[in-house]
């Protein structure tokens, strides 16, 4: 019984600990950035998105 409790607390503590920024960075570089930068998909030269024209009401709706 007590062992169970301890193990459950340990599990809970393990879950609670957020990854460090270095851990996240390492992971995203290996999982996403490096594979995507080296694959054969071409990036459009005129790469652009969004813009500076801001409209609060529209942004609120966008975020829903």
Partner 1 sequence: MIATHIDAERRYHEIRKSALRAISGQVSSSLCLGFKLIDEKALAASKSWEFSSVRLVDWDWSDGYKYFKFRHPKWFELALWHKNKLVSLSLGRPTYSGTGLRLDVIEGSPEEREIKVFPAVIAAMAVYASALGAKEIRVMKPINKAVRDYYSTQGFTFVAKGDYLYKKLSGLTL
Smallest separation (angstroms) from partner 1 to the CB of 10: 22
* DSSP symbol at 54: -
Cα separation values, 23 from 6, 29, 31, 34, 59, Å: 27, 10, 12, 16, 32
Nearest distance from residue 36's CB to partner 1, in Å?
A: 4
Beta-carbon contacts of 27 under 8 Å, excluding residues fewer than 6 positions away, are 19
User: Binding of partner 1 at residue 55 (CB under 8 A)?
Assistant: no
Which residues within the stretch 21-40 sit at the binding site for partner 1 (CB under 8 A)? 21-22, 24-34, 36-37
Using the minimum distance from each CB to partner 1, give the nearer residue, 2 or 39: 39
């Amino acid at each position: 019984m007590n062992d169970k409790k301890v193990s459950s607390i340990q599990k809970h503590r393990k879950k609670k600990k957020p990854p460090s920024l270095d851990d996240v960075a390492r992971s995203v570089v290996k999982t996403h950035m490096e594979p995507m930068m080296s694959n054969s998909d071409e990036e459009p030269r005129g790469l652009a998105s969004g813009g500076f024209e801001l409209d609060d009401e529209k942004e609120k709706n966008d975020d829903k």
